[in-house]
């Protein structure tokens, strides 16, 4: 089965899948997640390379020719790009957003089932927290009501 997702959705899937690294999931579920992340990684590498090219074009550069970063006020450890002008920032955001909407195809045997994410450490087999699962929505099986 081939599923189409955008590059932005692929980023969400990759980030969400990383959260499951330390969780004991059924072997098949872990395998499908790992295989999906491997497939996504190549696409996201190309996406990141294009994003970096745009940053070099629209941002101020440091001595090594890399886009400058500055700390985000009130968010220790977070940085933001330093743009040449407000128009450059707007153009960068627009172009990266458009690029993020590019579709890619993921090859899955079938969508993952929500019940595959039962919390193995819970006596009542509750599903893992929604914040962990939200990024996987594009590859989860639709729930029929």
Going by C-alpha positions, the residue among 107, 96, 91 that lies closest to residue 40 is 107
**b/e 40-52 (16+ beta carbons within 10 angstroms → b):** beebbeebeeebe
> What per-residue confidence (pLDDT) applies to 33?
84
pLDDT tens per residue, range 41-73: 989 999 999 999 999 999 999 999 999 999 999
The length of the chain is 145
Specify which of 72-81, 87-96, 99-108 reaches the highest per-range mean pLDDT.
87-96
* Model pLDDT, residue 9: 92
What residue spans define the domains of the chain?
Answer: 2-58+101-139
More confident residue, 47 or 107: 47
Q: What is the pLDDT of residues 10-33, one digit of tens each?
A: 999 898 888 877 777 778 888 888
Alpha-carbon 9 to chain mean position = 6
pTM of the predicted structure, to 2 decimals: 0.76
């Amino acid at each position: 089965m081939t599923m189409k997702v955008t590059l932005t959705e692929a980023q969400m899937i990759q980030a969400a899948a990383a959260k499951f690294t330390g969780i004991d999931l059924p072997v098949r579920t872990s395998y499908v997640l790992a295989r999906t992340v491997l497939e996504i990684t190549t696409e996201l590498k190309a996406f990141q390379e294009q994003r970096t090219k745009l940053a070099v074009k629209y941002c101020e550069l440091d001595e090594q020719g890399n886009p400058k970063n500055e700390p985000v006020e009130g968010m220790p450890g977070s940085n933001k790009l330093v743009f040449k002008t407000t128009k450059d920032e707007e153009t960068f955001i627009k172009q990266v957003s458009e690029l993020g909407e590019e579709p890619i195809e993921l090859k899955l045997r079938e969508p993952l089932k929500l019940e595959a994410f039962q919390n193995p450490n819970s006596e009542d087999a509750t599903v893992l927290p929604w914040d962990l699962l939200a990024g996987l929505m594009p590859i989860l099986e639709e729930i029929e009501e």
